[in-house]
Amino acid sequence: MTRIAIVTGGTRGIGLCITKGLIAEGYKVAALYHGNEEAAQKCAADTGAKVYKADVADFTACQDVVAKIEAEMGPVDILVNNAGITKDGMLHKMPEDSWHAVIETNLTSCFNMCRAVITAMRDRKFGRIINISSINGQKGQLGQCNYSAAKAGMLGFTRALAQESAAKGITVNAICPGYIATEMTAAMPQEVLDSIIRQIPAARMGQPAEIADMVVFLASDRAAFV
Secondary structure (DSSP) of 75-109: ---EEEE---------GGG--HHHHHHHHIIIIIH
Other CB atoms within 10 A of residue 30 CB: 25
- Give residue 188's pLDDT: 79
Give, in order, the Cα–Cα distances in Å from 159 to each of 11, 164, 211: 27, 9, 20
Strand order in the sheet with 4-7: 50-53, 28-33, 4-7, 78-81, 127-132, 170-175
pLDDT value of residue 183: 79
Catalytic positions: 147
Are the CB atoms for 151 and 136 separated by under 8 Å?
A: yes
- Separation of alpha carbons 193 and 206, rounded Å: 12
Digit-coded pLDDT (tens) for 158-209: 999 999 999 999 999 999 999 898 877 777 788 888 888 998 999 999 999 9
Cα separation, 74 vs 85, whole angstroms: 29
Are 125 and 169 in contact, with CB atoms under 8 Å apart? yes
Arithmetic mean of pLDDT, 89-107: 98
Taking the model in full, what pTM does it have? 0.94
Helix axes 208-219, 13-24, angle to 10 degrees: 50
- pLDDT, average across residues 3-22: 97
Q: What is the pLDDT of residue 6?
A: 98
Q: Contact at 8 Å (CB) between 162 and 183?
A: no
CA distances from 200 to 32, 197, 204 (A): 31, 5, 7
